[in-house]
Amino acid sequence: MTVLSLPEPFDFELSTERFRAFGPDLANLWYEGGFHRVVGGRELRIEAAPGGVDIEPLDDETEPVARAVVGAAFELEPFYEWAQGVEVLRELVPRLAGFRPPLAPDPYETLVSAITAQQVSLFAAFAIRNRMVERFGVRGVHAYEFPTRERMAQASEEELTELGFSRRKAEYVLGVARAELDLEALHNLSDHDVKVTLTGLRGLGEWTADWFLARHLARPRAWPAGDLGLVKAMSAFFSGGRKLSIAEVREAGARFDPFQNLTAHYLLTGLRTAPPA
């Protein structure tokens, strides 16, 4: 057993709930009680273990991926202490104690996932994305390695539309793949500059940039106010079900400073697993 230790509390089931909530994700596959992902041609499995997670294989190549998937970048203690001052979170956080939001390890995959989810349900988005992964990815034992940016740069719009992408989304996916932009270098930019850079690419708006900050870069103040799921969660937890506008949700983000990202994840997961009465 090769264990990656994580600070308590840590709830493996809650932290991996997203991988089961919207149907199978072939690139991030939940299989027989564990998480599977293909890294460098090898299939990684992560499962619960005392004090953290058991990772096989664990080495210099797989550890950064595993740490992203289990949300190791997040510090929960300061967030939990701060949440005591927000009535809704004071009640919600104990019900989700140990939840670590999973991060997307690959920047191109993060953007493709966001593009796929634009204006469709997440169930539909996962189905379309899975067809892309099967067509252009490399299969491991159970999961598939997400198609590389280089591989997708060689694909055609027709190949993607045959998989269920709209013509416009196919154009966006290929445009990002072919763009002369170092996605890894975005780690070194401020939140503002990341958003300016990404929204400069065709098909990438503020919503996509916000989720990139939240789910790939783990920026603490990322607040995807335009996300319909977050609007629904904010409406349920903070306005008694009255539907808030995107503008109201965006304005409300300031009250959660400097923990907007964790707040958003806890509200979204709370709505699915511990909704208000």
Give the tens place of pLDDT for each residue, 210-225. 999 999 999 999 999 9
Helices vs. strands in the chain: H and E counts, helices first: 15, 7
User: pLDDT digits over 51-61, tens only?
Assistant: 999 999 999 99
User: Tokens 């919600």 identify what position?
Assistant: 92
Report the pLDDT value the prediction gives residue 136, as an integer from 0 to 100.
98
Q: Which residues pair with 4 in a beta bridge?
A: 53
Burial class of residue 255 in the structure, from the number of CB atoms within 10 Å of its CB (0-12 exposed, 13-18 middle, 19+ buried): exposed
Report the pLDDT value the prediction gives residue 156, as an integer from 0 to 100.
97
Average pLDDT over residues 57-80: 96
- Banded pLDDT at 1 (limits 50, 70, 90): low
Three-state DSSP at 142 gives coil
Q: What is the CATH number of domain 107-215?
A: 1.10.340.30
Sketch the domain layout of the chain as residue ranges. Answer: 3-72, 107-215
Q: Which two tokens mark 202? A: 């065709």
Q: Nearest to residue 70, comparing CAs of 40, 107, 44?
A: 44
Does residue 241 register a pLDDT over 90?
Answer: no
User: pLDDT digits over 109-155, tens only?
Assistant: 999 999 999 888 889 999 999 999 999 999 999 999 999 999 999 99
Report the pLDDT value the prediction gives residue 121, as an integer from 0 to 100.
87
Round to whole Å and give the CA distance between 46 and 13.
Answer: 12
Average per-residue pLDDT for the chain: 96
Give Dmax over CA atoms of the chain in angstroms: 52
The distance in angstroms from the start CA to the end CA of the chain is: 41
Average pLDDT over residues 9-29: 95
Round to whole Å and give the CA distance between 198 and 181.
Answer: 9
pTM over 0.85: yes
Does residue 277 register a pLDDT over 80?
Answer: no
User: Tokens 């509200």 identify what position?
Assistant: 267
User: pLDDT digits over 83-105, tens only?
Assistant: 999 999 999 999 999 999 999 99
Report the pLDDT value the prediction gives residue 118, as an integer from 0 to 100.
87
Report the pLDDT value the prediction gives residue 172, as an integer from 0 to 100.
97
Report the pLDDT value the prediction gives residue 120, as an integer from 0 to 100.
84
